Amino acid sequence: MSEQMSDAVKSAVRLREALERVAAALVRPSVESLLDGEVAVERALAEMRPLDNLSDAERAMARHELEQSRALLLRCRRLGASLTDFVRVTFEAQGRGPSYGPRSNTSPTYSGAGLDTRI
């Protein structure tokens, strides 16, 4: 990131980079990388700056970064859904139903809560 970029544009870049990390962790499933990416996304969102008072050029850069972030978020959702399906099918192939595991829940879904554990 160049020194000439405003804090608002830099924060948009950090969000895009964090979502790229999450997507990469979902492509080659890695719990550690996924947790690191989640922390990076949370940090980037917490550090987002208002987009007020930007020049036209900075506004265009911020828009581009945020559009890229939106596309990456969609990619992460699709990769996450694919990974969930893979896990479900793998369990079914082993003769283990959706109740397999410590909580006997009906399906392996993500509740939207943040993960707070490192394996």
> Per residue in 67-117, pLDDT tens?
999 999 999 999 989 888 888 888 888 877 666 555 555 554 545 555 455
Q: Give residue limits of the domains in the chain.
A: 7-93
Name the pTM for this structure: 0.70
The whole-number pLDDT of residue 99 equals: 63
Mention every residue, 6+ apart, whose C-beta is less than 8 A from residue 14. 40, 43, 44, 47
